[in-house]
Protein backbone atom coordinates (compact mmCIF):
# COMPACT_ATOMS: atom_id res chain seq x y z
CA UNK A 1 0.00 0.00 0.00
CA UNK A 2 1.32 3.52 -0.73
CA UNK A 3 2.78 5.11 2.38
CA UNK A 4 2.08 8.70 3.41
CA UNK A 5 4.89 11.24 3.30
CA UNK A 6 4.46 14.65 4.82
CA UNK A 7 0.82 13.71 5.51
CA UNK A 8 0.10 12.89 1.85
CA UNK A 9 -0.35 9.43 0.39
CA UNK A 10 2.14 8.42 -2.28
CA UNK A 11 0.23 6.95 -5.25
CA UNK A 12 1.58 3.86 -6.98
CA UNK A 13 0.22 4.92 -10.35
CA UNK A 14 1.68 7.32 -12.91
CA UNK A 15 0.30 10.30 -14.78
CA UNK A 16 1.22 11.38 -18.30
CA UNK A 17 0.01 14.90 -19.11
CA UNK A 18 0.53 15.83 -22.79
CA UNK A 19 0.50 19.37 -24.20
CA UNK A 20 -1.40 18.34 -27.34
CA UNK A 21 -0.88 19.53 -30.89
CA UNK A 22 -3.22 21.41 -33.21
CA UNK A 23 -4.66 19.91 -36.36
CA UNK A 24 -2.51 20.44 -39.45
CA UNK A 25 -5.60 21.55 -41.35
CA UNK A 26 -4.95 25.29 -41.71
CA UNK A 27 -8.63 26.00 -42.26
CA UNK A 28 -9.65 24.41 -38.96
CA UNK A 29 -7.28 24.43 -35.99
CA UNK A 30 -9.79 23.21 -33.42
CA UNK A 31 -8.91 20.18 -31.33
CA UNK A 32 -9.89 16.82 -32.74
CA UNK A 33 -10.63 17.95 -36.30
CA UNK A 34 -9.33 16.16 -39.35
CA UNK A 35 -7.61 12.82 -39.77
CA UNK A 36 -4.40 13.94 -38.10
CA UNK A 37 -3.13 11.01 -36.00
CA UNK A 38 0.29 12.59 -35.50
CA UNK A 39 -0.95 15.21 -33.04
CA UNK A 40 1.20 13.64 -30.29
CA UNK A 41 4.78 12.65 -30.89
CA UNK A 42 5.55 8.98 -31.29
CA UNK A 43 8.09 9.35 -28.48
CA UNK A 44 5.39 10.26 -25.97
CA UNK A 45 2.95 7.51 -26.88
CA UNK A 46 5.80 4.99 -27.01
CA UNK A 47 6.59 6.00 -23.45
CA UNK A 48 2.95 5.50 -22.46
CA UNK A 49 3.00 1.99 -23.95
CA UNK A 50 6.33 1.21 -22.28
CA UNK A 51 4.86 2.05 -18.88
CA UNK A 52 1.96 -0.40 -19.25
CA UNK A 53 2.19 -3.34 -16.84
CA UNK A 54 1.17 -6.97 -17.35
CA UNK A 55 0.73 -9.33 -20.27
CA UNK A 56 -1.58 -8.10 -23.03
CA UNK A 57 -2.34 -4.90 -21.09
CA UNK A 58 -5.73 -3.26 -21.54
CA UNK A 59 -5.82 0.40 -22.60
CA UNK A 60 -9.05 2.34 -22.07
CA UNK A 61 -9.52 5.29 -24.43
CA UNK A 62 -11.94 7.93 -23.18
CA UNK A 63 -12.90 10.51 -25.86
CA UNK A 64 -15.49 12.27 -23.67
CA UNK A 65 -13.88 15.71 -24.01
CA UNK A 66 -14.16 15.68 -27.80
CA UNK A 67 -17.19 16.86 -29.75
CA UNK A 68 -16.27 14.16 -32.28
CA UNK A 69 -15.62 11.25 -29.90
CA UNK A 70 -15.79 8.50 -32.51
CA UNK A 71 -13.15 10.14 -34.68
CA UNK A 72 -10.94 10.96 -31.71
CA UNK A 73 -11.17 7.39 -30.42
CA UNK A 74 -10.41 5.90 -33.84
CA UNK A 75 -7.20 7.91 -34.01
CA UNK A 76 -5.98 6.45 -30.73
CA UNK A 77 -7.03 2.92 -31.54
CA UNK A 78 -5.00 3.16 -34.73
CA UNK A 79 -1.93 4.65 -33.07
CA UNK A 80 -1.90 2.25 -30.14
CA UNK A 81 -2.44 -0.71 -32.44
CA UNK A 82 0.55 0.36 -34.52
CA UNK A 83 2.58 0.54 -31.30
CA UNK A 84 1.76 -3.08 -30.50
CA UNK A 85 -1.17 -2.72 -28.08
CA UNK A 86 -3.70 -5.46 -28.87
CA UNK A 87 -6.21 -4.92 -26.09
CA UNK A 88 -7.95 -1.55 -26.51
CA UNK A 89 -11.41 -0.57 -25.26
CA UNK A 90 -13.15 2.70 -26.13
CA UNK A 91 -15.43 4.04 -23.41
CA UNK A 92 -17.95 6.16 -25.33
CA UNK A 93 -19.12 8.21 -22.35
CA UNK A 94 -21.13 11.27 -23.43
CA UNK A 95 -23.16 12.01 -20.29
CA UNK A 96 -23.43 11.07 -16.62
CA UNK A 97 -25.76 8.19 -17.37
CA UNK A 98 -23.14 6.67 -19.67
CA UNK A 99 -20.53 7.09 -16.92
CA UNK A 100 -22.58 4.91 -14.58
CA UNK A 101 -22.75 1.89 -16.91
CA UNK A 102 -21.37 -1.25 -15.21
CA UNK A 103 -19.46 -2.30 -18.36
CA UNK A 104 -17.41 0.89 -18.20
CA UNK A 105 -16.59 0.31 -14.55
CA UNK A 106 -15.40 -3.19 -15.38
CA UNK A 107 -13.04 -1.87 -18.05
CA UNK A 108 -11.50 0.58 -15.57
CA UNK A 109 -11.03 -2.22 -13.05
CA UNK A 110 -8.98 -4.17 -15.60
CA UNK A 111 -7.16 -1.34 -17.38
CA UNK A 112 -3.39 -1.01 -17.28
CA UNK A 113 -3.64 2.42 -18.91
CA UNK A 114 -6.26 5.14 -19.46
CA UNK A 115 -6.09 7.83 -22.15
CA UNK A 116 -8.26 10.96 -22.04
CA UNK A 117 -8.36 12.64 -25.45
CA UNK A 118 -8.47 16.37 -26.15
CA UNK A 119 -11.48 18.62 -26.58
CA UNK A 120 -13.18 20.59 -23.79
CA UNK A 121 -12.05 19.90 -20.21
CA UNK A 122 -15.38 21.11 -18.82
CA UNK A 123 -17.03 18.10 -20.45
CA UNK A 124 -14.73 15.86 -18.41
CA UNK A 125 -15.36 17.53 -15.06
CA UNK A 126 -19.11 17.97 -15.60
CA UNK A 127 -19.61 14.36 -16.71
CA UNK A 128 -17.18 12.56 -14.39
CA UNK A 129 -17.25 14.72 -11.26
CA UNK A 130 -18.52 12.82 -8.22
CA UNK A 131 -19.12 9.58 -10.15
CA UNK A 132 -18.25 6.04 -9.17
CA UNK A 133 -16.10 5.61 -12.24
CA UNK A 134 -13.92 8.62 -11.37
CA UNK A 135 -13.57 7.39 -7.80
CA UNK A 136 -12.51 4.03 -9.18
CA UNK A 137 -9.89 5.69 -11.41
CA UNK A 138 -8.49 7.52 -8.38
CA UNK A 139 -8.44 4.30 -6.39
CA UNK A 140 -6.56 2.53 -9.19
CA UNK A 141 -4.13 5.46 -9.38
CA UNK A 142 -3.50 5.31 -5.63
CA UNK A 143 -3.07 1.57 -5.22
CA UNK A 144 -1.99 0.04 -8.57
CA UNK A 145 0.64 0.46 -11.31
CA UNK A 146 -1.82 2.02 -13.75
CA UNK A 147 -0.79 4.92 -15.99
CA UNK A 148 -3.40 7.63 -16.60
CA UNK A 149 -2.75 9.97 -19.52
CA UNK A 150 -4.47 12.96 -21.04
CA UNK A 151 -3.71 15.22 -23.97
CA UNK A 152 -4.67 18.89 -24.29
CA UNK A 153 -8.02 19.18 -22.45
CA UNK A 154 -7.45 15.69 -21.09
CA UNK A 155 -4.19 16.88 -19.54
CA UNK A 156 -5.63 20.11 -18.14
CA UNK A 157 -8.39 18.15 -16.41
CA UNK A 158 -5.95 15.91 -14.50
CA UNK A 159 -5.12 18.66 -12.02
CA UNK A 160 -6.83 20.97 -9.55
CA UNK A 161 -7.22 23.92 -9.96
CA UNK A 162 -8.22 23.58 -13.62
CA UNK A 163 -8.03 26.48 -16.07
CA UNK A 164 -10.81 26.14 -18.62
CA UNK A 165 -11.10 29.52 -20.30
CA UNK A 166 -9.34 32.84 -20.80
CA UNK A 167 -11.26 35.65 -22.46
CA UNK A 168 -8.73 38.46 -22.92
CA UNK A 169 -5.73 38.15 -25.22
CA UNK A 170 -2.93 36.89 -22.97
CA UNK A 171 -5.10 36.66 -19.84
CA UNK A 172 -3.74 39.81 -18.12
CA UNK A 173 -7.17 41.23 -17.18
CA UNK A 174 -8.48 40.25 -13.76
CA UNK A 175 -11.56 38.04 -14.02
CA UNK A 176 -10.94 36.86 -17.56
CA UNK A 177 -9.31 33.56 -16.52
CA UNK A 178 -11.87 30.94 -15.56
CA UNK A 179 -10.85 28.32 -13.00
CA UNK A 180 -12.70 25.37 -11.50
CA UNK A 181 -11.99 22.04 -9.81
CA UNK A 182 -10.43 19.44 -12.10
CA UNK A 183 -10.40 15.66 -11.75
CA UNK A 184 -7.89 16.03 -8.89
CA UNK A 185 -5.29 13.42 -9.71
CA UNK A 186 -2.79 16.21 -8.99
CA UNK A 187 -3.79 18.68 -6.28
CA UNK A 188 -2.37 22.17 -5.84
CA UNK A 189 -1.13 22.02 -9.43
CA UNK A 190 -2.62 23.82 -12.44
CA UNK A 191 -1.82 22.34 -15.87
CA UNK A 192 -2.22 24.36 -19.05
CA UNK A 193 -1.53 23.13 -22.58
CA UNK A 194 -0.44 24.50 -26.00
CA UNK A 195 1.46 26.77 -23.64
CA UNK A 196 4.11 28.56 -25.68
CA UNK A 197 2.30 28.31 -29.01
CA UNK A 198 -0.75 30.14 -27.62
CA UNK A 199 1.09 32.49 -25.25
CA UNK A 200 -0.58 31.28 -22.06
CA UNK A 201 2.02 32.19 -19.45
CA UNK A 202 0.18 35.34 -18.33
CA UNK A 203 -3.14 33.58 -17.82
CA UNK A 204 -1.28 30.91 -15.81
CA UNK A 205 0.33 33.67 -13.75
CA UNK A 206 -3.11 35.09 -12.95
CA UNK A 207 -4.26 31.66 -11.77
CA UNK A 208 -1.19 31.29 -9.55
CA UNK A 209 -1.37 34.87 -8.24
CA UNK A 210 -4.83 34.11 -6.82
CA UNK A 211 -3.40 31.13 -4.90
CA UNK A 212 0.43 31.12 -4.74
CA UNK A 213 0.44 27.79 -2.91
CA UNK A 214 -0.31 26.14 -6.26
CA UNK A 215 2.31 25.33 -8.89
CA UNK A 216 1.57 26.03 -12.54
CA UNK A 217 2.86 23.68 -15.22
CA UNK A 218 2.55 24.81 -18.83
CA UNK A 219 2.93 22.08 -21.44
CA UNK A 220 4.02 22.96 -24.95
CA UNK A 221 2.72 20.92 -27.87
CA UNK A 222 4.52 17.65 -28.57
CA UNK A 223 5.70 17.68 -24.94
CA UNK A 224 4.54 15.89 -21.81
CA UNK A 225 5.30 15.34 -18.15
CA UNK A 226 5.44 11.88 -16.60
CA UNK A 227 4.55 12.15 -12.90
CA UNK A 228 5.60 9.35 -10.55
CA UNK A 229 5.23 9.04 -6.78
CA UNK A 230 2.69 11.83 -6.87
CA UNK A 231 5.17 14.61 -7.48
CA UNK A 232 8.31 13.53 -9.35
CA UNK A 233 8.19 15.04 -12.84
CA UNK A 234 10.11 13.92 -15.92
CA UNK A 235 9.79 15.86 -19.17
CA UNK A 236 9.16 13.81 -22.33
CA UNK A 237 9.04 15.21 -25.87
CA UNK A 238 10.49 17.74 -28.27
CA UNK A 239 9.40 21.01 -26.66
CA UNK A 240 9.57 22.75 -23.30
CA UNK A 241 7.48 22.82 -20.15
CA UNK A 242 7.16 26.00 -18.11
CA UNK A 243 6.93 25.81 -14.33
CA UNK A 244 5.35 28.86 -12.68
CA UNK A 245 6.13 28.98 -8.95
CA UNK A 246 4.34 31.70 -7.02
CA UNK A 247 5.32 30.72 -3.49
CA UNK A 248 7.89 33.51 -3.39
CA UNK A 249 5.57 36.24 -4.69
CA UNK A 250 6.45 39.46 -2.87
CA UNK A 251 3.71 41.70 -4.20
CA UNK A 252 0.54 41.51 -6.30
CA UNK A 253 -2.45 43.78 -6.83
CA UNK A 254 -4.83 40.91 -7.73
CA UNK A 255 -6.86 41.40 -4.52
CA UNK A 256 -7.04 45.20 -4.71
CA UNK A 257 -8.14 45.80 -8.29
CA UNK A 258 -11.56 45.36 -9.85
CA UNK A 259 -12.50 42.87 -12.55
CA UNK A 260 -11.56 44.30 -15.92
CA UNK A 261 -8.29 45.85 -14.72
CA UNK A 262 -4.79 44.49 -15.49
CA UNK A 263 -3.09 42.66 -12.62
CA UNK A 264 0.58 42.82 -11.60
CA UNK A 265 2.85 40.39 -9.78
CA UNK A 266 6.41 40.53 -8.43
CA UNK A 267 8.71 37.77 -7.21
CA UNK A 268 7.44 35.00 -9.48
CA UNK A 269 9.85 32.13 -10.26
CA UNK A 270 9.77 30.51 -13.69
CA UNK A 271 11.60 27.35 -14.83
CA UNK A 272 11.92 26.11 -18.42
CA UNK A 273 12.57 22.37 -18.72
CA UNK A 274 13.19 20.12 -21.73
CA UNK A 275 13.29 16.43 -22.61
CA UNK A 276 14.58 14.21 -19.76
CA UNK A 277 14.77 17.13 -17.30
CA UNK A 278 13.33 16.42 -13.86
CA UNK A 279 11.45 18.51 -11.33
CA UNK A 280 9.98 17.83 -7.89
CA UNK A 281 6.62 19.46 -7.31
CA UNK A 282 7.13 21.24 -3.95
CA UNK A 283 3.50 20.82 -2.92
CA UNK A 284 4.19 17.09 -2.63
CA UNK A 285 6.01 17.41 0.70
CA UNK A 286 3.41 19.59 2.43
CA UNK A 287 0.79 18.41 4.88
CA UNK A 288 -2.44 17.44 3.11
CA UNK A 289 -5.50 17.93 5.29
CA UNK A 290 -8.55 15.82 4.53
- pLDDT for 162-202, tens place per residue? 999 876 567 899 999 999 999 999 999 999 999 998 989 99
Dist CA 37 CA 196 (whole Å) = 22
Q: Give me the residue spans of the domains in the chain.
A: 12-23+35-285
Q: Give the residue among 1, 87, 2, 93 at the shortest CA–CA distance from 52.
A: 87
The catalytic residue among 51, 220, 221, 234 is: 221
124, containing H or E segment: helix 121-128
Residue 56, pLDDT score? 97
271 is catalytic: no
- Distance from C-alpha of 234 to C-alpha of 224, rounded to nearest angstrom: 8
**Active-site pick, 152, 159, 220, 234:** 152
For residues 46 and 83, the answer to whether their CB atoms sit within 8 Å is yes
Instruction: Answer yes or no: is pLDDT of 29 > 50.
Output: no
Is-catalytic flag, 66? Answer: no
- 116, 124 Cβ separation under 8 angstroms: yes
Instruction: Give the tens place of pLDDT for each residue, 67-126.
Output: 999 999 999 999 999 999 999 999 999 999 999 999 999 999 999 999 999 999 999 999
- Tell me, which fold does domain 12-23+35-285 have in CATH? Rossmann fold (3.40.50)
Residues 22, 51, 66, 194: which is the catalytic one? 194
Amino acid sequence: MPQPKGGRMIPKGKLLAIGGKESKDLDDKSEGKGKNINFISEQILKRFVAELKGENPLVAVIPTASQEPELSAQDYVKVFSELGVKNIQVLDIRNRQDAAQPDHLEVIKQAAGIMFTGGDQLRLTAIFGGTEILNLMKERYAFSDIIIAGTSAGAAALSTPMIYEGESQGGYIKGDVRITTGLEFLKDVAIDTHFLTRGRIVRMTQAIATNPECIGIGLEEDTAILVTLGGNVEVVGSGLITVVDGMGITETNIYDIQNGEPFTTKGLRVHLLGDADEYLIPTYARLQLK
